[in-house]
Amino acid sequence: MVNFDILIKNGLVVTMDSKRRVIEKGYVAIVGDRIAEVGKDSLDKSAEKVIDAKGAIVMPGIICGHTHLYGILLRGSPWFAKIEPPTDFIQNLHRIWWAMDEIMNYDDAYASALAASFEMMKSGVTLFADTFSGPNAIEGVLDRIEEAVKKVGIRGIIAFEATERHSKEEGERGIKENIRFIERVRREKDPLVTGMISIHASFTVTNWLLKWARELANKYEVPITLHTSEGLVDPYHNLERYGMRTFERLYRVGLLGPDVVAVHAVHVIDDELKLIAKTGTKIAHNPLSNMLNAVGAPPIHKMLEMGITVTIGNDGYIFDPFENIRGAYLLAKVAFRDPRLITPLEAIEMATINGAKAYGLEDKLGSLEPGKRADIIIVMPELMPTPLNAETVYGHLVNTIDGDDVKTVIVNGKIIMENRKSLTISEEEVNKISQEIAAKFWKRLLSKGEHQLDIVRLE
């Protein structure tokens, strides 16, 4: 009899493997940091730690394809009552995000990363991709974010969001911080937190920075991520300055490729979709953020039909992944007036295996298969009004489940939350740190005015 480290038994196992198998009365066995076996019935199995998942869903950890951890500091902020409400996307940047960026410091970065990664962990996220922005907190800031994420115990892909909003030097400093962090974590054995190259958006950088980002991604073999066509300012800027739309410009400078995660891609035309598909570029869809900022809805149904990999992010707004899954399921329907668009299975694929594919990790994460890393969540709904089985599980994951139903979280073979109790850091400690820092942050934010910047000075 094989003795495993952890045995999860009697669960409804949603594998997300190539056959999308759902196993009733299934089990998942873990040895070290890997999944050793996945199957049906576990009567002849034993382990040092046995978890009875009767009545629960056992599935891969949710992957958040794009976030801004520091966005959590805006939650409930009195800043929104002070400013004139933005009427469009660019005003939103000026009056909220860029005003926020200008006063971010290293303590803010740490506290927000701690609170946001903790909240995501408790709602089932085991890996996220984050970009941080702050012109007065660049060098060394990724170490502070990493420190916070490690305390929570989940995986992160983090980067500084390089931009030339103020100067070419600012963009260079941002890129160098990413290089420094990538080189440092490479000296560690199997780090949970890794790096990537991040660009803010094509309308705040020159071709020089885009080309440099591509060279570095090739050199270090890491992903590139940038915001694309979120608001109309992006395609309009590129049409005015370069005579081409956003993805056309990115294609011409050689940036696009299978290691690129383009965020949003709301205002795209069919010709741009063809370039995205041709180059293997991935898309991070942020449905709740799109609704909040009133920027529109990307044609993700067309993207999926064309074989484009689409993952789901939160963009620093709502960190519960099940709310974002539900948003992705619904937004396409209402935006394109077709209730057939996006199935429950497609929504769950975007939040699991597609998230892994987006960052080149599909051989390690995103599904429950032998040999893959043991990143697993156990979801036990408190209310289940209709039967839960292999036929209904995707519908329940989209329409019934929310983050509070996640009972157990396992990352890299280590249980970091069990029966809703964090085993790494307490909620009390997280709340204390984040509330103290947020109060100071709000005070600084309220003492300044809206951020003013002419964004068309580039080139």
Q: What tens digit of pLDDT does each residue of 233-275 get?
A: 999 999 999 999 999 999 999 999 999 999 999 999 999 999 9
**Each residue's pLDDT tens digit, 269-315:** 999 999 999 999 999 999 999 999 999 999 999 999 999 999 999 99
**Each residue's pLDDT tens digit, 74-122:** 999 998 888 889 999 999 998 999 999 999 999 999 999 999 999 999 9
Q: Does residue 428 lie within any of the structural domains?
A: no
CATH number, domain with residue 317 = 3.20.20.140
Q: What is d(CA 332, CA 340) in angstroms, rounded to the nearest whole number?
A: 9
Q: What is d(CA 88, CA 95) in angstroms, rounded to the nearest whole number?
A: 11
Same domain, 270 and 416: no
Same domain, 397 and 253: no
Q: What is d(CA 122, CA 402) in angstroms, rounded to the nearest whole number?
A: 11
| CA count, 13 A, side-chain hemisphere, 277 | 15
Chain centroid to Cα 10, Å, comes to 30
Give pLDDT, residue 81: 84
Q: Judge whether 225 and 196 are in contact, CB under 8 Å.
A: yes
Range scoring the smallest mean pLDDT among 12-16, 66-70, 81-85, 244-248:
81-85
Same domain, 266 and 401: no
The pTM of this model reads 0.96
Q: Does residue 305 lie within any of the structural domains?
A: yes
Using CA atoms, how far residue 283 sits from 77, 94, 350, in Å, is 30, 25, 10
The total number of structural domains that make up the chain: 2
Tokens standing for residue 177 = 């911080």
Same domain, 144 and 259: yes
Same domain, 38 and 170: no
Same domain, 31 and 135: no
Q: What is d(CA 339, CA 391) in angstroms, rounded to the nearest whole number?
A: 20
Give pLDDT, residue 453: 44
CATH number, domain with residue 392 = 2.30.40.10
**Each residue's pLDDT tens digit, 333-346:** 999 999 999 999 99
Same domain, 86 and 123: yes
Q: Does residue 382 lie within any of the structural domains?
A: yes
Q: Does residue 443 lie within any of the structural domains?
A: no
Q: Judge whether 68 and 131 are in contact, CB under 8 Å.
A: yes
Q: Does residue 429 lie within any of the structural domains?
A: no
Q: Which of 352, 345, 395 is nearest to 376 (CA)?
A: 352
Kindly indicate the confidence band of residue 167, based on its pLDDT and cuts at 50, 70 and 90: very high
Give pLDDT, residue 43: 82
Q: Give the residue-averaged pLDDT of 124-141.
A: 97
Q: What is d(CA 39, CA 414) in angstroms, rounded to the nearest whole number?
A: 21
Same domain, 127 and 221: yes
For residues 3 and 218, the model is more confident at 218
Residue 1: pLDDT over 80: no
Q: Does residue 10 lie within any of the structural domains?
A: yes
**Each residue's pLDDT tens digit, 392-445:** 999 999 999 999 999 999 999 999 999 999 999 999 999 999 999 999 999 999
> Domain limits at 400?
3-60+377-421
Determine what percent of the chain is predicted with pLDDT higher than 70. Answer: 97
- A 10 A CB-CB count for 408 gives 23
Residue 134: pLDDT over 60: yes
Kindly indicate the confidence band of residue 454, based on its pLDDT and cuts at 50, 70 and 90: very low
Same domain, 124 and 66: yes
What is the four-CA torsion angle of 300, 301, 307, 311, rounded to 10 degrees? 40
Q: Does residue 438 lie within any of the structural domains?
A: no
Q: What is d(CA 77, CA 84) in angstroms, rounded to the nearest whole number?
A: 14
Same domain, 112 and 178: yes
Tokens standing for residue 52 = 């009875």
Kindly indicate the confidence band of residue 450, based on its pLDDT and cuts at 50, 70 and 90: low
Same domain, 93 and 33: no
Q: Which of 300, 333, 393 is nearest to 65 (CA)?
A: 300
Q: Does residue 435 lie within any of the structural domains?
A: no
